[in-house]
């Protein structure tokens, strides 16, 4: 009876370890996309006095999350709508922003990810919350992020404001 109980415990442990390993090495598209979105918020955030090597390294990491032909349209400020039509424009603007302001803290909340039936494209709807150092009002903007699976990687292809329902 003790041998049977020991075997059952070992079998259960092997099953649990197998499930954990499968989820770790083969995460769902939602998990991968969620991690990439959180990484994007981290890379958009910075503080004053950041070194040039760190800036360049983070811009390279940012580049790795974006499709080459990404289209970005942001209305985070009524005075300054932003539009970018490719990855290099966006990366250069992000680099310039790091020189223009003292710091930025970005975060995404209310993330809802829908992977399309083809499992090659997805849409994430989320809320951007950003605070620019020295500014009193935070930026809060609902966004729609479209992603595509390109060369085996989930890359952002479009970022735009969520249209209000009428």
Taking the CA atoms of 57, 68, 146 and 97 in sequence, report the sign of the dihedral they define. Answer: positive
Sole residue written with tokens 């950003």: 130
Measure the CA dihedral 82/86/88/92, to 10°: 0
Q: What angle do CA 100, 106, 110 make, to 5 degrees?
A: 155
pLDDT per residue over 86-96, tens digit each? 999 999 998 88
Backbone dihedral angles phi then psi of residue 25, each to the nearest 5 degrees: -85, -20
State the average pLDDT over residues 3-18: 86
Domains of the chain in sequence order: 28-161 (3.10.450.50)
Beta-strand runs (E) in the chain? 66-74, 82-84, 104-115, 121-132, 139-150, 153-161
Phi/psi class of residue 110: alpha, beta or left (left: φ > 0; alpha: ψ in -120 to 50)?
left
State the average pLDDT over residues 61-84: 87
Report the mean per-residue pLDDT for the chain.
Answer: 89
State the average pLDDT over residues 159-163: 89
State the average pLDDT over residues 92-121: 92
* pLDDT value for 75: 79
């Amino acid at each position: 009876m003790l041998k049977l109980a020991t075997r059952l415990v070992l079998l259960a442990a092997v099953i649990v370890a197998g499930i954990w390993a499968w989820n770790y090495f083969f995460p769902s598209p939602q998990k991968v996309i969620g991690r990439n979105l959180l990484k994007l918020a981290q890379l958009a955030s910075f503080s004053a006095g950041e070194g040039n090597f760190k800036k360049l390294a983070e811009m390279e990491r940012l580049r790795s999350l974006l499709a080459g032909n990404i289209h970005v349209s942001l209305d985070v400020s009524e005075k300054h709508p932003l539009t970018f039509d490719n990855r290099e424009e966006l990366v250069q603007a992000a680099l310039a922003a790091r020189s223009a302001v003292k710091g930025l803290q970005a975060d995404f909340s209310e993330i809802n990810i829908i992977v399309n039936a083809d499992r090659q494209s997805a849409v994430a709807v989320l809320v951007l919350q950003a605070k620019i150092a020295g500014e009193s009002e935070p930026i809060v903007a609902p966004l729609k992020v479209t992603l595509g699976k390109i060369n085996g990687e989930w890359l952002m292809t479009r970022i735009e404001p969520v249209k209000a329902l009428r």
